[in-house]
Amino acid sequence: MPTFTFATLPPQTGRTVVVTGANSGIGRSAARALAARGARVVLAVRDVAKGRAAAAAMTGETEVRRLDLADLASIREFADALDEPVDLLINNAGLMVPPLGRTADGFELQFGTNHLGHFALTNLLLPRIRQRVVTVSSSGHRAGRIDFDDLNWERRRYRPMAAYGQSKLANLLFTAELQRRLTEAGSPVLANAAHPGLASTNLLHHQGVPTWLATLQRPLVNLLAQSEDDGALPTLYAAVADLPGNSYAGPSGFLEGRGAPHLVGRSRRARDLDTARRLWTVSEQLTGVRFALTRVSRA
Ligand SMILES: NC(=O)c1ccc[n+]([C@@H]2O[C@H](COP(=O)([O-])OP(=O)(O)OC[C@H]3O[C@@H](n4cnc5c(N)ncnc54)[C@H](OP(=O)(O)O)[C@@H]3O)[C@@H](O)[C@H]2O)c1
């Protein structure tokens, strides 16, 4: 099979794509590539000015809409206003290892934004999604555990990296359970996941570390990391390649840090379907948003 690159991305004419966090990093790169190949791309961003600046540097049809994944009211507003079919939803936005913070609804910031925000968004849009949902996880999921007794870090001492790991493990469990439910409902929609390896984006440069440490860290990150364009390729591969549902794409190089996209493995905890079902139920309770598809009856 030829290596998947931007040049091999098939034409996207006629497709509507929503990309969260499309003003920056790998989301911006994926949005730019899809728009350049003919898709109508909705940049779903929390800062509309940043979204407009990103869209201005893209060719093709783009639209900027406000979406703050750390606020359920904003997610509902976005989903209500987007009254049209969506072929592809890319759940890309995320933040990594900020100091302890809370979303507007009181969830721990990383679990609330990276997982619960995308959980609510996907389920609200699901009746209008026609082809695929791609959720961006991370190799950091391997260090993650789902602590059902304290999902929102209210009782434990806060450990930012462990909270990031929990949120990225939740992205993979969400993908697995979403695919199971879609299949059970007889839906043709596929749920896939991807990770970019190590990509030089704002995520790696804005980690809430002191400025002196960020300054020291930047050249090392730039040396080890691949570009944000290369980091976007696994997302695009998961979005358009001929793959079964619940596929997980990442770079093929050493330790999945960089390289051409292909299918990668996931941790044992990410394959635990009982945890995936339980997390889904709890996420429905926390967000008040439910899986809205019922089994399609076949005549
Ligand atoms: N870079 C890597 O090496 C790496 C590795 C593994 C996984 N990932 C994953 O890749 C994804 C994209 O990250 P990136 O590396 O491209 O970093 P990035 O350049 O920092 O992009 C993150 C995007 O998420 C947006 N965002 C953050 N909080 C949001 C919120 N509450 N509502 C809406 N949007 C929000 C950011 O908006 P603002 O610009 O307004 O902050 C930004 O557009 C993340 O899910 C991350 O976990 C990245």
Q: Which pLDDT tens digit goes with each residue over 263-287? A: 999 999 999 999 999 999 999 999 9
Least confident among 111-120, 209-218, 235-244, 288-297: 209-218
Instruction: Establish whether residue 136 lines the binding site of ligand 1, counting it when its CB lies within 6 angstroms of any ligand atom.
Output: yes
**Res. 299: pLDDT tops 60:** no
C-alpha separations of 60 from 13, 40, 163 in Å: 10, 7, 37
Residues contacting 133, CB < 8 A, separation 6+: 88, 89, 91, 122, 175, 178, 189, 190, 191, 192
Class of domain 8-286: alpha beta
Instruction: Establish whether residue 67 lines the binding site of ligand 1, counting it when its CB lies within 6 angstroms of any ligand atom.
Output: yes
Q: What is the mean pLDDT of residues 125-134?
A: 98
Q: Which pLDDT tens digit goes with each residue over 154-165? A: 999 999 999 999
Task: Show the tokens assigned to 136.
Answer: 């961006």
Q: What is the mean pLDDT of residues 146-172?
A: 97
Q: Of 176, 257, 270, give the one whose Cα is nearest residue 221.
A: 257
> Sign of dihedral through CA atoms 262, 264, 270, 273?
positive
Give the DSSP letter of residue 70.
Answer: T
Q: d(Cα 82, Cα 69) in Å, to the nearest integer?
A: 15
For the chain, what are the domain ranges?
8-286
For a ligand 1 pocket test, name from 19, 26, 75, 230 the mutation site with the most ligand atoms within 8 angstroms of its C-beta: 26
- Nearest residue (CA) to ligand 1, atom 39: 24
Q: What is the mean pLDDT of residues 187-204?
A: 93
For a ligand 1 pocket test, name from 45, 72, 95, 172 the mutation site with the most ligand atoms within 8 angstroms of its C-beta: 95
Instruction: Establish whether residue 175 lines the binding site of ligand 1, counting it when its CB lies within 6 angstroms of any ligand atom.
Output: no
State the closest ligand 1 atom to the C-alpha of 46, by its place in the atom list counted from 1.
33
Torsion of Cα atoms, 275 then 281 then 287 then 293, to 10°: 110
Q: Of 202, 228, 223, 196, give the one whose Cα is nearest residue 214.
A: 202
Least confident among 125-134, 150-159, 233-242, 290-299: 290-299
Q: What is the mean pLDDT of residues 249-254?
A: 94
- Residue 72 CA from chain centroid, whole number: 17
Give the DSSP letter of residue 152.
Answer: T
Backbone angles phi, psi at 240, to 5 degrees: -125, -15
pLDDT level of residue 216 (50, 70, 90 thresholds) = confident
Task: Show the tokens assigned to 58.
Answer: 């893209």
Degrees, nearest 5: CA angle 194-28-181: 35
pLDDT level of residue 219 (50, 70, 90 thresholds) = confident
Residues contacting 184, CB < 8 A, separation 6+: 295
Backbone angles phi, psi at 231, to 5 degrees: -65, -25
Instruction: Establish whether residue 94 lines the binding site of ligand 1, counting it when its CB lies within 6 angstroms of any ligand atom.
Output: yes
Instruction: Establish whether residue 26 lines the binding site of ligand 1, counting it when its CB lies within 6 angstroms of any ligand atom.
Output: yes
**Res. 27: pLDDT tops 90:** yes
Q: Which pLDDT tens digit goes with each residue over 79-114? A: 999 989 999 999 999 999 999 999 999 999 999 999
- Nearest residue (CA) to ligand 1, atom 47: 94
State the closest ligand 1 atom to the C-alpha of 168, by its place in the atom list counted from 1.
47
Instruction: Establish whether residue 43 lines the binding site of ligand 1, counting it when its CB lies within 6 angstroms of any ligand atom.
Output: no
- Nearest residue (CA) to ligand 1, atom 7: 138
User: What is the helix (H) or strand (E) element at residue 65, kind and residue range?
Assistant: strand 61-66
To the nearest 5 percent, what fractions of the chain are helix, strand and coil? 45, 15, 40
For 275, the 3-state DSSP assignment is: helix
Residue with tokens 């082809």: 131
Q: Could you tell me where the DSSP H helices lie in the chain?
A: 25-36, 48-56, 72-81, 109-110, 118-125, 160-184, 202-205, 211-224, 228-240, 273-287
Instruction: Establish whether residue 103 lines the binding site of ligand 1, counting it when its CB lies within 6 angstroms of any ligand atom.
Output: no
